[in-house]
A and B are shown apart, each in its own frame.
Chain A
Amino acid sequence: MKKKVILILWLLIGLGVIAIYLTVGEPNKNIIIQVRIPRLLLTLFTGMALAGIGSIYQLMLANPLAEPYILGISSGSAFGSILLGISGLVVLMPLGGFIGACFTMLLVWKLAHQKGRFDKSRLLIAGVIAGMFFSAGISLIMYLYQKDTALILGTLMGNLGHIFTSSEWVFFLILLVVSFAILIYLYFKSTAIDILSGGDLYAASLGINVLALRRQIFILTSIVIGISVSYAGIIGFVGLIISHIVRYFVPSGQKKIYLLSLLSGGIFLLACDLVAKQLLAIELPVGIITAFIGCPFFMWLLLKKQS
């Protein structure tokens, strides 16, 4: 009963944040529909995807430090979009991001196998190495093209203010539908992921095709992360901490954890973007706000748990 009340309260807070997000500063109808709602959708989607996938990775890789960016997909994606951005093809940046994500995904997946056998640690190491490689590539671009620093920082620190053209918007909506379909599909895989976390042998003995499941999750999540980084850049912290905070309240049961992570990630990022836009006259990169709000909160949670 008490849990339900908290959930409803949380949902109401979410709706409140959405309402404030859309109406703060007395915008006219045109601005609400054409600018705010697209940004709202992008923000909600990004927050949900990061937090939800974060919770899956932490369980699947049996590593509390795992997050959507740990497999290098984000750096590959950012590298791709920055590369197109500095070549003057600013409009095509999301495409570059997506190609970068797919390429990194294939590379890391290939590296994660040894003689055809998948290895969890190999996957992590391959992801980290790929991430470092592309980060170095981004640093090189930043060093060589200093006049494009704004663009590069926008991608590295998160930029939810993507300006859509009409055709791009339709395209993005299609991607959004695909992404949400994937996120919903992953929800139904929660039980299987839960079982998988008990070990490959155990899962296989229960009739789960471990290899296929893992490949499926890896590919599907990479696609969603690729789409998110392509449009919003890299927004740290959400993917790591939200699911930990959720686990603090709901210790087990991936189904519930996943769902709550999706919900909380969306609301949290929305609230952070609101702060980022309103705190100072100049808009702050949202990635800084997520860390500034989330880290102290998480530290407080850790301290509370100790006592």
Chain B
Amino acid sequence: MRRAPHDEDRDRLMYGALLDAVRGLRWRARRVSRIAVPGIHPSRVRGTSAEFTEYRAYRQGDDLRRIDWKLFARSDRAHVRISEERAVTPTCLVLDASASMAFPDGPGSKWSLAQQLAVALASVAHSGGDPVGLMIAGNPRATIPPRTRRGIVAEVIEKVADTSATGSSPLAGALTAAARSASRIAIVSDFLGDPDDVSRIARELIAAGRDVHALHIIAAEELDPPRAVSLVIDPESSDVRRYMADSVRDEYLRSYAEWREVTATRWLASGAAYRTIVVGKEPVSHSVRRVVRDEPAASRAG
């Protein structure tokens, strides 16, 4: 369905400052690409570009045009000139739109931050010439395969704006689907849904050469819950109903910190780029810079 023009204006206004703030950023691939399409990222494919790398002894089947004839004249041995190629990195942003992402209510929710991160990362990747796609768990209509066309960022904006965080769709399926067409996958989630499955699939993808970024979104209220006594209910599992009070607060903080530690360790051990991003703690553009510059986990929560 075509969106109304005023919706697009609103989105442009909402994301305009953020897109300005991330303009000029480059999102370097953490791994060499296996794709031959020319781009800015290092490629495993050795080619004939001007950027010389090494000589290699001629082997049968090599292109005769790549033989360095001057070296052959000096050494009487045939060598082939090897140069490094640059390739593109198809990028897919996988967003978790489960009900837990809708916390807390209002514009400061985890889902709101996930939307902004997705738009900013899509913009950064697109400005580097990389195809950009989108996958939202629980909303198959919002799927965009990686593309380099001009309007792809606007398309991402439209899709994330049309999606609200509800239900409890598993993230693993979206991750698997994203891996079919992308060599770089950025997962934006609170990892409260199916962390084991997601982690396992991510490990397999990394082993297969994919570049995986795990952006762990945390709400400030989760790190420092209100002190008023309340009955807290898991939005994705209404069976989980607990009483939050001062007497159990320390135990909660300890358990939650332990879980975050385990999650971080698991992601880092799998070779993914793991970042925790706390809602409202820093401008979104700063979070994007940390992600694309692959800065170590200086901002680990807690």
The answer to whether A and B come from one shared complex is no
